[in-house]
Structure 1
Amino acid sequence: MIRTPTLADLALTVTLLALALPAFADDRCLARAVETADATLQGQVVLSTHSKQGPLDTEVLSGVAHPALNGSEGFRIASVTKTYVAATALRLWEDGKLDLEAPVSRWLPPEWTDLLVRDGYPPERITVRNLLSHTSGLADHAQAPQFIQAIKANPSTQITPADHVRHLIEWTQPVGSPGDQYFYSDTGYILLGKVIEQATGQPLHRAVRAQLDLDRRDLPDTYWEHFEPAEDRVRAHQIFEGVDTHEWSPTMDLYGGGGIVATPRDMAAFFSALLDGKVFRRPQTLALMLSSEGLPSASTYRLGIFAYDFDGIAAYGHSGFWGTLVATEPLSGQTIAGAVTDRQDYPRLKAIVGQYLRQARAEASKANCRH
């Protein structure tokens, strides 16, 4: 169904559009969640939901000043990519092709290892598991103020993975010893991407697609930007601090810490499959991904995925810099994914996701949010 705004509706700040997609069933939990949405959106929010049985619903919340998206647009999902990369590493582990306890020095280019050593890092003691869980002791080039300053100054700059590693060394200092603490590091996932490339003999984007069997899943709008063709897919404009970043070089976040473009529908479908045990060959692998065993007690990060607490509602998922978020409520098996066109609206997206998960959990013993 489509709820077309009347002239009276246009006086409101927010227009709610529910897409007419015949494969979807209306999601009453989503309808209830968006009723509570803050009515001061700067841009638009696209939301998609998925159950273990399949896709449920997609809705668009839109500020009246913006031409409405229709929900089929892709977004740079940024750090949500990390879950795909981590799942790839774990697929290799369960096939005996990657040792999670192996030092990264076994896989990294010698020049990268030399840089790390010169900056005080011990690559012979940093393991693949440390990279997966952000417990490597690595700082993060992307959190250094010089990073975003450089991007703003020249958004079309082409950056290589080696450049990012050099920036880590130039701009930051080690944050601790391997295994001691959680510290979120995009650089760590760039190193993990290189490990995967070395272990498979494939570029990262091909390894991820092959190991996760993406071509056989119903993910028509998921692709690795720059390395895979966009074809006729439309990518949404994403606003950061009032600036349209659509033409910013994807190389700022392309090599494992980010890189994937996907619709919220595809994000929800992938996470639903992942957390329903349909990506790994063995249930023990998913259990390992979600386990806190051996991790710092204060960490909410597992192996490529967050253990969220939405005001008492547990969920697993990930978020991304530009304003993307996906989460699955384990009891109901319901998944919601969303993306904003303006990063200022991310708190509103997070609030809606939390409301949805609460509704989904409450409905878990009933009809899984279907009308």
Structure 2
Amino acid sequence: MAGLQEAFERAGAGLEHHLMASHAAGAALAVTDREEILGVAVRGMADVASAAPVRPETRFQIGSISKSFSAIVAMQEVDGGRLDLHVSVNELLPWLELPEPFGPITMHHLLTHTGGLHTGTEDAPGFAGAIHLLRSYPPTSAPGERYHYSNDGYKIVGAVLEAVTGHPIHELLRLRLLGPLGMTSSVAAITDEIWTDHATGYEPLLTDRPGQLRHPLVPAPRIVSNTADGSIVSNVVDMCAYARLLLARGDLPDERGERILSEEGFTRLMASAVDDGDHGRYGYGLWNEEVDGRTWLGHSGGMVGYTALLITVPEEGLGCVMLQNGGGDRRSVVGAALAAVRAGLAGESLPAPWAPPAATAIPDAGRFAGTYAGEDGRTLLVETMEDGLSMAIGPVSARLERDPLLIEPGETFLVAHPAFERFPLEFRSDGTGVVEAFHGDTWFRGERYRGPEPQEPDAAWRRHPGLYRNDDPWNPVLRIVLRKGGLAIMWPTDEEGGDLVPLEDGSFAIGDPSFPRRVRFEGDVAGRSAVTVFDGGRWYRSFEP
């Protein structure tokens, strides 16, 4: 079909534009209907050093899309009467010893990220390390009370499934899903052996600051993993088979010729969905949301050096999967690919190839303009410039840049100048508009600021600011800064930072104390803290500024 062929040419052109605005070396995208793959677009390099291009068969790590595989197996066990989603996981795993200060934490809570558990770090990698830390960091809210994304919760899901079935989780996913769906190129464990046929992951070279498009990419650290929260390796061809399972509501044959998942089991996946504060509603390993009048059902994924997105549109019978070896939001290019294929199938005029806005294009830029007085005596001048913003502190000025792949640019911007790039420039608003800005350890008061005056910080807090490192490949660097009378944590990566709220036990919460994000400081080296402990992971003070 000529229209469909051109649709994928335009999807490919969109991928080219995407790669220029992302931190990825290559990408693959495929669209399927309920019966077969409609087309594939590939661009860029699977391995830059060898100049190996991305092919439809190129394997990537799909990250947290794996959670939905584990959730489907859990529904199979419920259908078989072998698993109760509503009893304490300590009953299902008597050795677990998971703290439950507010009541039983169940599989339902873990599958919906409402168990009150922290997200988890990879400072102690694997299931054993995660459980060891969880025993010392109890939930901070009652099960079912609030949504907080927890990779460690899904690690427990995998352990429960292993106990119920008697199979290691990676073997269980192969037997129940990868095999029956014909996903012959896919595996559910990341091992050293898989790297012989696998795209190389990439990330920005500089780990102590937010990545900018002008920063070079380098190969990302390699990891091994088989946990249920995200260990599947696959390609877009195989992942389209999985998308067809979702479009069929589980009605594809298993090895016995029976449905892989019952209608009741599939309905159960989203029946108890909760508001996730981001996409819309999160069920068991899948989220849904309304996009341009259509329901998207899917999940995103991120690994060290890889990101992925799986979207199905049930009412249209279409699914799209995008895998890339690097970072960068995928939603816009996936949405554009689906729109092009939709038009091609209908014989309608095709939309133009998707392209992101310029990084310097900042909508409604004028609301940020103004003069801001720094608590350190410096003055920040923010001015509109062409279609964006510039900032100046003293004689040095720079353009501000947004992430061009994000649909909503937000109020935090990169500073495109070596003197300022270690920190983003973060604006904050109240009901009257933008009133203050933060850059590293400096608070800048806007002309419209009418908020409270900063209090003198606790003298002991001055021991804590600095840059800390560890060997966690996900988040090797964190910073602690003292500004506006309080401490804050900052991450160069996508990990969410924020102001530190002191607690009675001497530790700190990041923002709202009801969420399980905890920081404490340990050790003394020449009057400064030696260690920052975040959710049990340990980062050690570095000499770097």
Q: If the TM-score is normalised by the length of the shorter chain, which range does it land in?
A: 0.7 to 0.9
Cα offset, 1:94, TM superposition: 1.1
Match of 1:249 in 2: 223
Residues 240/28 of structure 1: CA separation in 2 closer, same or farther (3 Å cut): same
Give 1 or 2: higher strand fraction. 2
Cα offset, 1:169, TM superposition: 4.7
Cα offset, 1:189, TM superposition: 0.3
Residues 350/131 of structure 1: CA separation in 2 closer, same or farther (3 Å cut): same
What is the aligned counterpart of 1:238 among 178, 201, 204?
201
Which structure would you say has the larger Rg?
A: 2
**Does 2:28 correspond to 1:46?**
yes
- TM-score under structure 2 normalisation? 0.53
Residues 160/331 of structure 1: CA separation in 2 closer, same or farther (3 Å cut): closer
What is the aligned counterpart of 2:321 among 337, 340, 344?
337
Structure 1 distance, partners of 2:14, 2:65, is 25
- TM-score under structure 1 normalisation? 0.75
Residues 64/72 of structure 1: CA separation in 2 closer, same or farther (3 Å cut): closer
Structure 2 distance, partners of 1:195, 1:121, is 21
Counterparts in 2 of 1:151-170, with a 5 A limit?
A: 159-169=125-135
What is the aligned counterpart of 2:169 among 195, 204, 211?
204
Residues 27/162 of structure 1: CA separation in 2 closer, same or farther (3 Å cut): farther
Residues 26/201 of structure 1: CA separation in 2 closer, same or farther (3 Å cut): same
Structure 2 distance, partners of 1:26, 1:133, is 37
Match of 2:264 in 1: 284
Residues 34/308 of structure 1: CA separation in 2 closer, same or farther (3 Å cut): farther
Residues 70/139 of structure 1: CA separation in 2 closer, same or farther (3 Å cut): same
Structure 1 distance, partners of 2:72, 2:340, is 28
Give 1 or 2: higher helix fraction. 1
Residues 224/191 of structure 1: CA separation in 2 closer, same or farther (3 Å cut): same
SS of 1:48's partner is strand
Contact 2:275/2:282 (8 A) holds in 1: no
Residues 305/73 of structure 1: CA separation in 2 closer, same or farther (3 Å cut): same
Match of 2:82 in 1: 97
- AA aligned opposite 1:219: M
**Does 2:126 correspond to 1:126?**
no
SS of 1:320's partner is strand
Give me the identity figure in percent: 24
Runs (5+) with no aligned partner, structure 1: 1-24, 151-157
1:212-231: CA deviation from partner (whole Å, max 9, x where unpaired)? 3x32322121112257974x
**Does 2:70 correspond to 1:85?**
yes
Cα offset, 1:359, TM superposition: 4.0
Contact 1:27/1:56 (8 A) holds in 2: no
SS of 1:141's partner is coil
What is the aligned counterpart of 1:193 among 158, 166, 176?
158
Match of 1:263 in 2: 235
1:122-158: CA deviation from partner (whole Å, max 9, x where unpaired)? 5x6111111111111111113xxxx4xx4xxxxxxx8
Match of 1:219 in 2: 183
Structure 1 distance, partners of 2:284, 2:69, is 11
Contact 1:275/1:286 (8 A) holds in 2: no
- AA aligned opposite 2:281: T
Match of 1:22 in 2: none
Runs (5+) with no aligned partner, structure 2: 206-217, 253-259, 351-545
Structure 1 distance, partners of 2:118, 2:201, is 27
Q: Please, what is the CA RMSD of the aligned residues?
A: 3.1
Aligned residues: 315
Structure 2 distance, partners of 1:228, 1:219, is 20
- AA aligned opposite 2:321: A
Structure 1 distance, partners of 2:5, 2:111, is 34
* RCO comparison, higher one (Cα < 8 Å, 6+): 1
- AA aligned opposite 1:31: E
Match of 1:303 in 2: 284
Cα offset, 1:273, TM superposition: 1.5
- AA aligned opposite 1:270: Y
- AA aligned opposite 2:129: D
Structure 2 distance, partners of 1:57, 1:249, is 31
